[in-house]
């Protein structure tokens, strides 16, 4: 038999057995280095809040700057520990499932045994188990988690990756949620949540020895359903959901060894988006980098922190040019719900390339009596909470939805969306 033909057969069998690894084309590997450097630059930016997901993105890469990673870990611990301690205090407890899960993964990615780390004198993993218990109780009473199913899945993933046996009832609640189509982002399917749950269920499948046959069967069914949903959602450009959910979805499909993923199409699209600068938010980069390095969050359990490539070096940044930018007009309509009515209508001129956040700041500066807004910090940047004195709250499930007129919801937040000439935005108080 011809040797090339044999090699092709072996490759074919290999990809069927081991699933597909979605790789960047060999001519574009410079895009990976450039994203790694972008993420490393963000950790030096004092105006950015330390973000555990960013640390995971750096750790799951093949090249490192070990000294900068170590510095970032220290910075993360100094900010996260007091904040988690206060959220977990018995006086005024706040649900922090997602952040706690990311913290436990951070410790593991740094090769610090999370089972030895404590918060308020209790083990980190113990806290996480308790958070999931509260989430489960909340679902039993109110038919939805305390936080959301994305964080619930992240919690399950983190405990599982840390080798902890989960309470079967906690797992069962997640299989039920999947079955009843509860993984939503407002009214449509949340690919990010399906992907995070997919990663969690793959980990549970790999830990089958901890659970009984019936639960393992449920886990297997849910995993198959999630794989089918992710594959079905892949569009002609290879995207699953939108450009920001696709990296997590690909991570999940890679972890599942799925053979149905359209790898070359999706990687082509992601490479084009990387070249366009779409991935500039550190959180977005942090969820994409593992894919580019053929890793998933499940690989955190295998990390041993030895013999790592320490060759990632940042060149000095070129000085920013002194550009005089043209000004563009932006219109903002603020709408309240139930009944729907306009509570404010305004316009403002801002330099080209400004963000929606810049425009809101300028509107507030010019007319503080008429227009004001408030934000809270989050891992994705500033999250809009109050507009024109109207507040949204997690407990009543309201939020300010960002819409580009007439009806296109933005897929980025106020600080990331770059204004285009003639943009009109609707800030609509909505229910999720
Ligand atoms: C749940 C969720 C929501 C919920 C949050 C409330 C809830 N149910 O808990 C709701 C439906 C309200 C929501 C709203 C929005 N979301 Co959302 N959301 C998520 C999701 C699935 C999980 C977030 C989470 O819990 N993270 C874990 C915890 C530990 O991190 P955290 O930072 O503390 O979490 C808080 C913030 O992330 C904040 N939040 C949620 N969404 C967004 C979006 C932005 C831009 C910001 C700054 C903050 C933010 O709410 C979280 C809970 O308190 C993520 C998916 C993902 N990959 O992260 C998308 C995601 C973050 N959301 C996204 C978007 C675009 C939005 C909106 C801008 C949509 C819109 N057009 O209005 C709005 C935010 C508008 C605003 N007011 O600033 C994008 C962001 C992409 C990007 N490049 O910025 C993501 C990645 C989904 C996606 N693939 O499109 N979201």
To the nearest whole number, what is the mean pLDDT of the chain? Answer: 93
**What order of strands is seen across the sheet that includes strand 373-378?**
373-378, 381-387, 390-391
Tell me how far CA of residue 274 lies from CA of 91, 259, 277, 320, 352, in angstroms: 45, 25, 5, 21, 22
Cα 132 to Cα 149: distance, rounded to the nearest angstrom: 11
Mean pLDDT across the stretch 51-58? 98
What confidence tens digit (pLDDT) does each residue in 72-126 have? Answer: 999 999 999 999 999 999 888 899 999 999 999 999 999 999 989 999 999 999 9
* Reported pTM: 0.95
Q: Report the pLDDT value the prediction gives residue 16, as an integer from 0 to 100.
A: 42
Closest ligand 1 atom, CA of 382? 47
Number of Cβ within 10 Å of residue 303's Cβ equals: 15
The lowest-confidence range among 9-13, 179-183, 303-307, 366-370 is 9-13
What confidence tens digit (pLDDT) does each residue in 269-305 have? Answer: 999 999 999 999 999 999 999 999 999 999 999 999 9
Q: Which residues pair with 119 in a beta bridge?
A: 122
Closest ligand 1 atom, CA of 154? 27
Closest ligand 1 atom, CA of 430? 12
Distance from the CA of 403 to the center of ligand 1, in angstroms? 14
Closest ligand 1 atom, CA of 147? 9
375 lines ligand 1 (CB under 6 A): no
The lowest-confidence range among 244-258, 310-324, 388-402 is 310-324
Nearest CA to ligand 1 atom 23: 150
Task: Select the more confidently predicted residue: 394 or 414.
Answer: 414
Q: What is the 3-state secondary structure (H, E, C) of the chain?
A: CCHHHHHHHHHHHHHHHHCCCCCCCHHHHHHHHHHHHHHHHHHHCCCCCCCHHHHHHHHCCCECCHHHHHHHHHHHHHHHHHHHHHHCCCCCCCCCHHHHHHHHHHHHHCCCCHHHCEECCEEHHHHHHHHHHHHHHHHHHHCCCCCCHHHHHHHHHHHHHCCCCCCHHHHHHHHHHHHCCCCEECCEECHHHHHHHHHHHHHHHHCHHHCCHHHHHHHHHHHHHHHHHHHHHECCCCCECCCCCHHHHHHHHHHCCCCCCCHHHHHHHHHHHHHHCCCCCHHHHHHHHHHHCCCCHHHHHHCCCCCCECCCCCCCCCCCCCCCCCEEEEEEEEEECCCCEEEEEEEEEEECCCEHHHHHHHHHHHCCCCCCEEEEEECCEEEEEEECCEECCCCCCEEEEEEECCCEECCCCCCCCECCCCCEEEEEEEEC
151 lines ligand 1 (CB under 6 A): yes
Cα 142 to Cα 136: distance, rounded to the nearest angstrom: 10
Cα 346 to Cα 363: distance, rounded to the nearest angstrom: 8
Q: Which residues pair with 345 in a beta bridge?
A: 333
Confidence band, pLDDT 50/70/90 cuts, at residue 7? very low
Confidence band, pLDDT 50/70/90 cuts, at residue 428? very high
Q: Report the pLDDT value the prediction gives residue 92, as an integer from 0 to 100.
A: 81
Distance from the CA of 413 to the center of ligand 1, in angstroms? 8
246 lines ligand 1 (CB under 6 A): no
Distance from the CA of 309 to the center of ligand 1, in angstroms? 34
284 lines ligand 1 (CB under 6 A): yes
What confidence tens digit (pLDDT) does each residue in 358-384 have? Answer: 999 999 999 999 999 999 999 999 999
Mean pLDDT across the stretch 20-41? 93
Query: First and final CA of the chain: distance in angstroms?
Result: 60
Structural domains for the chain: 24-302 (1.50.10.20), 327-431 (2.170.130.30)
The lowest-confidence range among 102-106, 255-259, 319-323, 415-419 is 319-323
Mean pLDDT across the stretch 22-34? 94
Confidence band, pLDDT 50/70/90 cuts, at residue 19? low
Q: Which long-range contacts (CB under 8 A, 24 or more apart) does 378-381 make?
A: 379/49, 379/51, 379/53, 379/283, 380/281, 380/283, 380/284, 380/413, 381/281, 381/283, 381/413, 381/414, 381/415, 381/416
Strands 327-336 and 424-431: parallel
Q: Report the pLDDT value the prediction gives residue 260, as an integer from 0 to 100.
A: 82
Closest ligand 1 atom, CA of 380? 47
What confidence tens digit (pLDDT) does each residue in 189-232 have? Answer: 999 999 999 999 999 999 999 999 999 999 999 999 999 999 99
Cα 24 to Cα 299: distance, rounded to the nearest angstrom: 19
The lowest-confidence range among 46-50, 76-80, 85-89, 143-147 is 46-50
Mean pLDDT across the stretch 234-253? 97
pLDDT > 60? residue 12: no
Which of 380, 395, 400, 414 has the most ligand 1 atoms within 8 A of CB, as the residue to mutate? 380
Distance from the CA of 143 to the center of ligand 1, in angstroms? 21
Distance from the CA of 245 to the center of ligand 1, in angstroms? 11
Task: Please state the length of the chain.
Answer: 432
Q: What are phi and psi of 259, to 5 degrees?
A: -95, -5
Q: Report the pLDDT value the prediction gives residue 324, as an integer from 0 to 100.
A: 73
pLDDT > 80? residue 69: yes
């Amino acid at each position: 038999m011809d040797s090339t033909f044999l090699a092709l057969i072996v490759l074919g069998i290999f990809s069927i057995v081991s699933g597909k690894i979605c790789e960047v084309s060999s001519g574009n590997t410079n895009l990976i280095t450039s994203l790694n450097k972008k993420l490393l630059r963000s950790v030096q930016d004092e105006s950015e809040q330390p973000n555990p997901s960013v640390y995971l993105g750096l750790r799951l890469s093949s090249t490192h700057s070990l000294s900068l990673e170590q510095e970032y870990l220290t910075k993360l611990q100094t900010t996260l520990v007091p904040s988690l301690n206060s959220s977990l205090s018995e006086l005024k407890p706040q649900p922090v499932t997602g952040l706690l899960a990311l913290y436990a993964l951070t410790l593991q990615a740094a090769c610090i045994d999370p089972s030895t780390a404590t918060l308020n004198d209790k083990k980190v993993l113990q806290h996480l188990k308790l958070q999931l218990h509260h989430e489960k109780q909340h679902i039993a009473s109110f038919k939805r988690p305390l936080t959301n199913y994305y964080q619930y899945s992240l919690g399950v993933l983190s405990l599982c990756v840390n080798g902890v046996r989960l309470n079967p009832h906690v797992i069962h609640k997640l299989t039920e949620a999947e079955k009843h189509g509860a993984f939503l982002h407002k009214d449509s399917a949340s690919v990010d949540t399906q992907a995070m749950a997919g990663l969690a269920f793959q980990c549970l499948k790999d830990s089958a020895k901890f659970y009984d046959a019936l639960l393992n069967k449920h886990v297997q069914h849910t995993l198959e359903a999630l794989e089918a949903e992710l594959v079905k959602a892949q569009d002609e450009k290879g995207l699953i959901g939108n450009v920001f959910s696709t990296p997590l979805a690909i991570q999940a499909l890679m972890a599942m060894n799925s053979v149905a993923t359209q790898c070359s199409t999706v990687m082509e699209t992601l490479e084009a988006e990387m070249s366009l600068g779409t991935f500039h938010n550190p959180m977005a980069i942090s969820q994409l980098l593992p894919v580019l390095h053929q890793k998933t969050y499940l690989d955190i359990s295998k990390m041993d922190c030895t013999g790592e490539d320490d060759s990632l070096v940042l060149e000095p940044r070129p000085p920013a040019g002194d550009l005089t930018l043209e000004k563009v007009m932006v219109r903002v309509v603020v709408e309240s719900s139930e009944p729907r009515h306009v509570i404010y209508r305004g316009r403002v001129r801002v330099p080209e390339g400004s963000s929606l956040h810049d425009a809101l700041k300028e509107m507030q500066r010019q007319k503080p009596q008429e227009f004001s807004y408030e934000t809270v910090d989050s891992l994705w940047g500033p999250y809009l909470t109050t507009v024109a004195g109207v507040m949204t709250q997690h407990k009543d499930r309201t939020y300010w939805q960002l819409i580009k007129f007439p009806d296109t919801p933005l897929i980025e937040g106020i600080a990331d969306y770059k204004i285009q000439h003639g943009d009109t935005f609707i800030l609509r108080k909505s229910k999720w």
